Chain A
Amino acid sequence: MLETPSVDTALDTTPLGHNVPLAERAYRIRRNALLMGEVQGQGYIGQALDIADVLAVSYFHAMKYRPEDPHWEERDRFLLSNGHYAIALYAALIEAGIVPAEELETYGSDDSRLPMSGMASYTPGMEMSGGSLGLGLSIAVGIGLGLKRKSSASRVYTLFSDGELDEGSVWEAIMSAAHYKLDNLIAIVDVNNQQADGPSTQVMAFEPLVDKLEAFGWFVQRIYGNDMDAVVAAFDAAKSHPEAKPRMIVCDTKMGKGVPFLEAREKNHFIRVDAHEWQLALDALDAGRTA
Chain B
Amino acid sequence: MSTAANTTAKPRLKTSAMIASIAAEGQRTRPAPFGHALVELAKQRPEIVGMTADLGKYTDLHIFAQAYPDRFYQMGMAEQLLMGAASGMAHEGMMPFVTTYAVFASRRAYDFVHQTIAEENRNVKIACALPGLTSGYGPSHQAAEDLALMRAMPNMVVIDPCDAHEIEQVVPAMAAHQGPVYMRLLRGNVPLVLDEYDYTFELGKAKLLRDGADVLVISSGIMTMRALEVAQRLEADKVGVAVLHVPTIKPLDTETILREAGRTGRMVVVAENHTVIGGLGEAVAGTLLRGGVAPVFRQIGLPDEFLKAGALPTLHDLYGISTDAMAASIKGWL
Contact = CB atoms under 8 A, between A and B. Distances in A.
Interface of A: 77, 119-121, 127-129, 131-132, 134-135, 137-147, 149-150, 152, 156, 168-169, 172-173, 175-176, 179
Contacts of B91: 77, 127-128, 139, 142-143, 146
29 contacts: A121-B121, A128-B91, A128-B120, A129-B116, A129-B119, A129-B120, A132-B111, A132-B115, A138-B81, A138-B85, A138-B87, A139-B88, A140-B88, A141-B84, A141-B85, A142-B85, A142-B87, A142-B96, A143-B88, A143-B91, A144-B88, A145-B88, A146-B88, A146-B89, A146-B91, A168-B80, A169-B78, A173-B85, A176-B75
Contacts of B93: 146, 150
B334 to A, nearest CB: 50
A179 B77 CA distance: 13
Interface string B107-124: 000011001100111000
A131 B115 contact: yes
Pairs of residues from A and B, 4 with the lowest C-beta to C-beta distance, nearest first: A142-B88, A138-B84, A146-B92, A142-B85
A129 B94 CA distance: 19
A176 B116 contact: no
Given A139-B84, A142-B86, 7 more contacts: A128-B116, A138-B112, A140-B88, A142-B91, A142-B96, A145-B73, A146-B92
Given A128-B120, A129-B120, A135-B112, A172 B88 contact: no
B300 interface: no
Contacts of B73: 145
B72 to A, nearest CB: 11
A175 B76 contact: yes
B84 A135 contact: yes
A176 B83 CA distance: 13
A149 B71 CA distance: 9
Residue from A120, A143, A152, A172 having most chain B Cβ neighbours under 10 A: A172
Contacts of B89: 142-143, 145-146, 149
A69 to B, nearest CB: 16
Given A128-B116, A176-B75, A176-B78, A150 B85 contact: no
Contact of A146 (B94, B112, B121): B94
A172 B88 CA distance: 15
A137 B84 CA distance: 8
Contacts of B81: 138, 141, 169, 172-173, 176
Contacts of A179: 76
B49 interface: yes
B82 to A, nearest CB: 8
B310 to A, nearest CB: 32
A142 B78 CA distance: 13
A120 B76 CA distance: 27
A156 B88 CA distance: 10
Nearest to B53: A172
A137 B83 CA distance: 12
B105 to A, nearest CB: 14
B94 A139 contact: no
A142 B84 contact: yes
Contacts of B111: 132
Contacts of B76: 172, 175-176, 179
Contacts of A131: 115
A147 B92 contact: yes
A133 B91 CA distance: 19
A132 B119 CA distance: 12
B92 A139 contact: no
B85 A176 contact: yes
Contacts of B112: 135, 138, 169
Nearest to A134: B80
B94 A169 contact: no
A79 B119 CA distance: 16
